């Protein structure tokens, strides 16, 4: 492929009037050959090995390249293909290429797709209790999430999901703190949320949170946000800085208000059927690579949030920090969501997650 691309480049130069002497073409031929050799040496696994692979992982993500969870998919691919000695080929599909998340989750469940990155809320249909990780203002910091997910609570959650569903949580990544953005006005007080039509993940905990805040939550696919804001179907949504930047939403909604209402986790989810079908040594390769990728993604995401904020400001976005007194009002307004969670899964279970994060 690299060779054909370079050849097309040579043809374009010829049409533009580049010299066609024999020596010039010989020099260009040497350059093309050298560049082709370089490209070949940078491919993680030769194509012949990829074709001979015994197993294939289709690895998807709704996020676009430029967002940490999407960018680090290439690291997972490189590690798995190298350490499996070509026995496993990994195909990466960022940017929602495999379809809407709800549809992909069903494909993942059947084993037609082997891995995907998504919010815990997309598994709530199969394991409702996982919604406790998405309670509003649960995590005060990324480190609080680390304490919960890397400790006993995270271990128990992974075991429960694997035992009761067709999925395996292979690693805990993160999207980061989510903030409200919209095309109409800055959100400086809770009253400013009133009447705003905001896209949210279509799960009870998210919908109840924004109803409590006075907004009008609308369930919608992630891939539809840009066009929906652009055409006025919705006013905005809630995303981390990195997702807002990677999706170029600053082009259609310039107001970003630092509400930090959710610290959104990103799960590296695998098909249990596929993973159980791997030989033990290859399963270890895949699981180890998932853990390494998750740890790397967390580090990158935390640094990237600050960079993304500066970038969107440079593109004309108006970012405002919500005053502590107003944030306190928002926290109070969403306490009924915790009451709902306790009614669903019991006081003890909600207390367990609160203890895990240090509340």
User: What's the predicted TM-score (pTM) here?
Assistant: 0.82
Cβ–Cβ under 8 Å, residues 174 and 148 = no
Q: Which has the higher per-residue pLDDT, 346 or 13?
A: 346
The H or E element that residue 340 is part of is: helix 335-345
Per-residue pLDDT tens digits for 115-126? 999 999 999 999
Residue 241, pLDDT score = 97
Comparing 42-56, 61-75, 134-148, 199-213, which segment has the lowest mean pLDDT?
A: 42-56
Residue 51, pLDDT score = 61
Per-residue pLDDT tens digits for 54-112? 999 999 999 999 999 999 999 999 999 999 999 999 999 999 999 989 899 999 999 99
Residue 47, pLDDT score = 54
pLDDT tier, 359 (very low <50, low <70, confident <90, very high otherwise): confident
Residue 52, pLDDT score = 76
Per-residue pLDDT tens digits for 299-329? 999 999 999 999 999 999 999 999 999 999 9
Q: Which residues pair with 167 in a beta bridge?
A: 271
Q: Which residues pair with 263 in a beta bridge?
A: 177
At 175 the three-state DSSP class reads strand
**pLDDT, the chain, mean:** 87
CATH code of 47-357, in short, is 3.40.190.170
pLDDT tier, 43 (very low <50, low <70, confident <90, very high otherwise): very low
Measured CA to CA in angstroms, residue 240 lies from 157, 162, 231, 247 at distances of 24, 28, 22, 11
Domain positions in the chain are 2-42, 47-357
Average pLDDT over residues 203-223: 94
CB atoms within 10 A of CB 2: 15
Contacts of residue 301, defined as CB under 8 A and 6 or more positions apart, other chains included, come to 68, 69, 173, 174, 175, 176, 240, 242
Average pLDDT over residues 191-205: 95
């Amino acid at each position: 492929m690299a060779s054909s691309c370079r050849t097309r480049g040579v043809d374009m130069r010829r049409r533009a009037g580049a010299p066609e002497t024999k020596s010039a073409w010989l020099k260009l031929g040497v350059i093309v050959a050298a560049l082709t050799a370089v490209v070949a040496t940078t491919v993680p696994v030769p194509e012949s090995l990829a074709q001979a692979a015994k197993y294939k992982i289709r690895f998807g993500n709704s996020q676009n390249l430029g967002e940490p969870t999407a960018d680090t998919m290439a690291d997972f691919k490189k590690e798995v293909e190298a350490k499996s000695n070509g026995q496993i080929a990994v195909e990466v599909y960022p940017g929602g290429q495999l379809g809407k998340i709800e549809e992909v989750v069903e494909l993942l469940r059947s084993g037609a797709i082997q891995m995907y990155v998504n919010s815990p809320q997309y598994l709530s249909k199969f394991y409702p209790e996982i919604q406790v990780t998405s309670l509003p203002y649960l995590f005060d910091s990324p480190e609080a999430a680390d304490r919960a997910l890397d400790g006993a609570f995270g271990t128990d959650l992974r075991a429960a999901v694997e035992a009761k569903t067709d999925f395996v949580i292979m690693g805990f990544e993160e999207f980061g703190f989510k903030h409200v953005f919209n095309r109409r006005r800055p959100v400086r007080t809770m009253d400013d949320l009133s009447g705003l039509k905001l896209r949210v993940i279509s799960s009870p905990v998210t919908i109840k949170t924004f109803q409590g805040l006075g907004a009008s939550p609308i369930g919608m696919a992630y891939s539809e946000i840009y066009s929906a804001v652009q055409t006025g179907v919705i006013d905005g949504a809630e995303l981390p800085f990195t997702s807002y930047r990677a999706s170029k939403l600053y082009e259609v909604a310039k107001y970003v208000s630092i509400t930090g209402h959710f610290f959104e986790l990103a799960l590296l989810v695998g098909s249990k059927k596929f993973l159980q079908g791997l030989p033990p040594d290859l399963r270890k390769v895949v699981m180890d690579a998932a853990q390494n990728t998750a740890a790397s993604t967390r580090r990158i995401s935390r640094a990237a949030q600050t960079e993304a904020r500066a970038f969107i400001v440079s593109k004309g976005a108006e970012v405002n920090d919500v005053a502590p007194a107003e944030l306190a009002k928002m926290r109070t307004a969403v306490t009924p969501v915790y009451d709902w969670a306790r009614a669903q899964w019991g006081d003890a279970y909600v207390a367990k997650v609160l203890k895990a994060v240090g509340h």
